[in-house]
Amino acid sequence: MASRRLLRWSGVIAALACVAGPVAAIELTASETAGKQIFLEGRSASGSSIAARVGGADTAIPGTVVPCANCHGADGRGRREGGVRPPDITWRRLALPYNQRLENGRERPPYDAASFARAITSGVDSGGNRLDPAMPRFVMAARDVENLTAYLKRLEDDGDPGLLPDTVRVGTLQPATGPLAELGKTVTAILRGTFDAVNAGGGVHGRRVELVVADPGADAAAAEAALRRLMDEDKVFAVIAPLVPALDGRLGELADAARIPVVGPLAQVSGSAGRFVFDPLPGLGEQLGALGEYAATALKLTNPPAAIVHPDEARSGAIAGALAERLARRGWSQVRAYAYVPGAFNAPWVGAAVAGQGAKAVFFIGRDADFGALAAQPELQKDPPWMFAAANQVGPSALQLPAAQAERVFIAYPTLPQDWSPQGAGALRAVRERSGAGDRHPAFQVGAYAAAMVMVEGFKRAGRDASRDKLVAALENMHGFQTGVTPAIGFGPGQRIGAPGAHIVGVDAQKRVFRPTGRYVRLDTVQE
């Protein structure tokens, strides 16, 4: 009888587990939700100020600079940073019903609401001992303290969304209409094909990788709304290879605010600035930087008159400014920038100005047709300067140049076929065949496949009890990872570009083909 009851109860428990779904599905009260915002962001839901006093000088800084989760982690369990190991502040741990001996040897009794409030506002633990000086003392309203305490009591139940017992849900943003629709379809096919192969092999720690696709729309507002739907409605755990040019420059900010990992953003003009965004391959800014290093070291150009020609738009202007700063650190003091109207390069003044400056080096940002129009300016054909551009900005027009010009053109490629291992080439070929992606947009296929491989490896390293913070930590500690189709990928606490460099490729004017120089320039090894 007892064994029958046990079997019956085990069946009920199993059924409840299936119905319950992911741990992240718990509903928080208004107070707990407000406390979660304080915990993750250091901001009060009521709009009242939260300040933090830090160090022996009691310096006051905004609470948003040092929210609890920054040191203790989104799960509250603490993670070592430098020589400091923030303690576990889950309520279960804080309120254990007996005295605890801590790492520094002191003892304290269990916390209750009052002693916890005293700890975070006065820096004194439940036993009256001074807390570590690294622990900020927060100045906040009593209601905010109550809300934070309420959330800590639910913290262990509030798991990250998208992480189910048998599935990890991953989102992506891919255009379904407009000029990028075909490219979005190809990237989606590669991502699905890659995850299908992973799932066919048993998934990751027994979980299938499920891909959720959303259309980012036509502008930044629509793209941001689509990203929020992925997070709030589809409850994705992470975002993979989003193709959202409209959010370039803002993706890192949005990801950090939502504390959602993003791996492999495509069509970025520069590496994303954000703790939660990981770029396996370099953006346009890094590729141009590699070309600048090549010009200074391989071509031995020493402080030549140089021009940066870019579209008259904010993003390209920022890239041009960053490149000018990099060249200045190389001792190039004669660098000028020239802006043009993208798609309408009919201003001969640019070519005349560049030639009039006597430019010996020209760095180009823009579209292939505009590169051809610039190179066709009579002044630049008469006395051809060295010209540099990234591969996704220059195509057939570079192969149509006169020999005198073509031999002075160099292009940066994040990857080349020489990066491919036999296993990697075979795996990507199988994904192409399985997904029907064909050979369209090969560079973006490589980028999407590499991003998927990096994310899967991150899942593996994060473990069965993964969280977003653990995934970020796993990626930060990824070094020398071989995707099979790119240079080795490695990140770090301050490094969010996995392969921060580029292959340098020239032009064979006779055969009308691109010719690798055999040089790969890594920016993280450059002494500046």
Q: Could you tell me the two tokens for 485?
A: 């189709």
Distance CA 496, CA 51 (A): 30
Q: Does residue 81 surpass a pLDDT of 80?
A: no
**Nearest CA to 147 among 29, 25, 24?**
29
Least confident of 11-15, 261-265, 471-475: 11-15
Lowest mean pLDDT among 28-32, 74-78, 118-122: 74-78
Determine how many CB atoms are found less than 10 A away from the CB of residue 506.
17
Mean pLDDT computed over 155-160:
81
What integer pLDDT is reported at residue 474 of this predicted model?
A: 95
pLDDT, tens only, 379-421: 888 889 999 999 888 888 889 899 999 999 999 999 999 999 9
C-alpha distances in angstroms, 33 versus 15, 139, 231, 449?
Answer: 29, 20, 16, 37
- Whether 443 and 309 have beta carbons less than 8 Å apart is answered as no
373's enclosing H/E stretch is helix 368-375
pLDDT (average), residues 169-189? 95
Higher pLDDT, 346 or 130: 130
Alpha carbon 497 to its chain's center: 8
Q: In this structure, which amino acid lies at residue 288?
A: L
142: confidence class by pLDDT, cuts 50, 70, 90? very high
Cα–Cα distances in Å, from 59 out to 52, 54, 223, 380? 8, 5, 39, 57
Residue 296 near residue 274, CB atoms below 8 Å: no
Per the structure block, which two tokens stand in for 525?
């090894």
pLDDT of residue 17: 36
The Cα 163–Cα 145 span in angstroms is: 30
**What's the pLDDT tens digit per position in 218-242?**
899 999 999 999 999 999 999 999 9
CB count within 10 Å of CB 211 equals 17
Contact between residue 164 and residue 207 where contact means Cβ atoms under 8 Å apart: yes
Average pLDDT, the chain: 87
Give the integer Cα–Cα distance in Å for 194 and 445: 11
Return the exposure string of 465-478: e unless at least 16 CB atoms fall within 10 Å of the residue's CB, then b.
ebbbbbbbbbbbeb
Instruction: Give the C-alpha separation, 434 to 190, whole Å.
Output: 9
Q: What is the pLDDT of residue 312?
A: 87
Write down the pLDDT at residue 27.
78
Q: Is the predicted pLDDT of residue 7 greater than 50, yes or no?
A: no
Measured in degrees and rounded to the nearest 5, phi and psi for residue 449 equal -65, -45
Mean pLDDT score, 18-36: 67
Cβ atoms of 405 and 384 within 8 Å: the answer is: yes
Q: What is the rounded distance in angstroms from the CA atom of residue 217 to the CA atom of residue 178?
A: 9
Confidence class for position 315, pLDDT limits 50, 70, 90: confident
SS3 187: helix
Strand order of the β-sheet with 59-62 is 59-62, 51-54, 137-139
Report which of 211, 212, 203 is spatially closest to residue 165, judged by C-alpha positions. 203
Structure tokens given for 498: 């996995």
Which of the four pLDDT bands, split at 50, 70 and 90, describes residue 480? very high
What percent of the chain clears pLDDT 70, i.e. is strictly above it? 90
Q: Decide if 282 contacts 495 (C-beta within 8 A).
A: no
| CA 311-315-320 angle, 5° bins | 65
Under 8 Å between Cβ of 256 and 239: no
Q: Which of 325, 321, 326 is nearest to 338 (CA)?
A: 321
Give residue for tokens 């390069």: 345
What percent of the chain has pLDDT above 90? 56
The vertex-164 CA angle with 161 and 170, nearest 5°, equals: 60
**Angle value at C-alpha 413, between 411 and 414, nearest 5 degrees:** 150
Q: With helix as H, strand as E and coil as C, how does 416-439 read?
A: CHHHCCHHHHHHHHHHHHHHCCCC
Kindly tell me if the per-residue pLDDT of 271 is higher than 60: no
Report which DSSP code applies to 86. P
Q: With 60 as the cut, is the pLDDT of residue 362 above it?
A: yes
- pLDDT value at position 21? 38
The rounded distance, in Å, linking the Cα atoms of 346 and 377 is 10
Instruction: Report residue 108 as tokens.
Output: 């304290």
What is the pLDDT, as a whole number, of residue 26? 65
Residue 93's pLDDT is: 87
Residue with tokens 């796993």: 474
Cα–Cα distance, 373 to 345 (Å, whole number): 6
**Does an H or E element contain 156, and which?**
none
Q: Is 167 helix (H, G, I), strand (E, B) or coil?
A: strand
Q: What is the pLDDT of residue 197?
A: 96
Rg (CA), the chain: 27
Half-sphere exposure in the Cβ direction for 169 (13 Å, CA): 19
Phi, psi of 364 (to 5 degrees): -110, 140
Contact by Cβ (8 Å): 285, 271: yes
Nearest Cα to Cα of residue 406 among 396, 391, 421: 396
Distance set, CA 218 to CA 179, 189, 296 (Å)? 10, 21, 40
